[in-house]
Amino acid sequence: MKRYCIAANWKMNKTIPETRDFLRAFLPLVKDIKDRDVVISPPFTALSAAADALKGSGVKLSAQDVFWEEKGAYTGEVSPAMILDAGCSHVIVGHSERRQYFSEDDVIVNRKVKAARKAGLEVIFCVGESLEEREAGRTFDIIKRQVETGLAEVGPENLVVAYEPIWAIGTGRTATVEQAQEVHAFIKKVLGILYGNKAESLRIIYGGSVTTENVDNLMACEDVSGALVGGASLKAESFARIVSFK
Ligand code: 13P
C-alpha cells in the first residue's frame, strides 16, 4: 500500500504567533493519523517556532526554498545546513512561483536539489506547465525537460515529486482527476527511465487548488500519492480535513 505525503505550503503567510496558533489547533485534529506523512512548510522566520511546537507530533517540517552554497557572501540566502538547523527534514525546491518571480531555471533548481540532498534533506521537487504550454500541447515536453534537467545526477532517495500545473495554482481551477492521472503516469514513466525499478516507490504528489471538496477524488487516482496544498492549508480545520482524506 502506498504511503501518502500531504504537505502544506504556506508561501508568504503566517507570523510566529500565527504559526503557533495554527499548530495548537491543528495537531490535536491529526494526532491519530499515522499511516501518511504530514508536512508543513512555514516561511523561514517561523521554522524554529514550528519545530518546537511539532516536537513529538510526528508531523514533519519543511522549508519553502534553499540556496545551493554552504556558506558565504550571499545576502538574503539560506543554506541547507541552516534549514536542518532550524528543525526541517524537508525542503520544497523548484516551486513555480520561484521559477516565475525569481527566474529560477532548471539548472538552478538542479543545483538546489543536489545541495539539499547532499545535506540530508528530503526534497519536494516541483514541476508543472503553464496554461499557454498546455494549450500549445507542450505539457509532456515541458515536464520531461523539468524532470530530466532538475534531477540530473540526483538519485531517487529522499525524493518526492510534486506535479503542480501553474494554471491550477491559486486559481480555484483544479486539474480534473483525468488530467492529474495522465501527467502523474507520464512523470512515473520518465522517472522509470531515470531510475529503473527504484522509481516504483517514488511518490508523485499533486498541487493546485486542492480543497476539502476535491481531495478524496484526487487521492483516489492510481498514480497520485499525496498533495501539496497552498490556500487550503492555511486554516487548521481545512488542512486537517485534507490530511484525513478518505
Ligand atoms: P493552491 O493550493 O493555493 O492552489 O497552491 C498550490 C501550491 O502552489 C502549493 O505549493
- Residues 77-116 as b/e (b if ≥16 CB within 10 A, e otherwise) read ebbbebbbebbbbbbbbbbbbbbeeeebebebbbbbbbbb
- What's the gap in Å between 119 CA and the centre of ligand 1? 26
The whole-angstrom distance between residue 146's C-alpha and the CA centroid of its chain comes to 15
Q: Which residue's CA is the closest to the ligand 1 atom numbered 2? A: 230
Told to judge if 132 belongs to the known catalytic residues of this protein, a careful annotator would answer no
- What's the gap in Å between 196 CA and the centre of ligand 1? 30
Contacts of the segment 102-106: beta carbons below 8 A, 24+ positions apart: 106/145, 106/146, 106/149, 106/150
Told to judge if 164 belongs to the known catalytic residues of this protein, a careful annotator would answer yes
Atom of ligand 1 nearest to the CA of 11: 10
Q: Which residue's CA is the closest to the ligand 1 atom numbered 1? A: 230
Atom of ligand 1 nearest to the CA of 207: 6
Residue 151 CA to residue 191 CA, distance in Å, equals: 9
List per-residue pLDDT tens for the chain, 246 residues long: 789 999 999 999 999 999 999 999 999 999 999 999 999 999 999 999 999 999 999 999 999 999 999 999 999 999 999 999 999 999 999 999 999 999 999 999 999 999 999 999 999 999 999 999 999 999 999 999 999 999 999 999 999 999 999 999 988 888 999 999 999 999 999 999 999 999 999 999 999 999 999 999 999 999 999 999 999 999 999 999 999 999
The maximal CA–CA distance of the chain, rounded, in angstroms, is 48
Atom of ligand 1 nearest to the CA of 208: 4
The full set of domains in the chain, from first to last, is 4-243 (3.20.20.70)
Query: What are the pocket residues of ligand 1 if the criterion is a CB atom closer than 6 Å to any ligand atom?
Result: 9, 95, 164, 169-170, 207-210, 228-232
Pick from 93, 124, 169, 241 the residue to mutate for probing ligand 1's pocket: most ligand atoms within 8 Å of its CB. 169
Q: Which of 97, 129, 164, 184 is catalytic?
A: 164
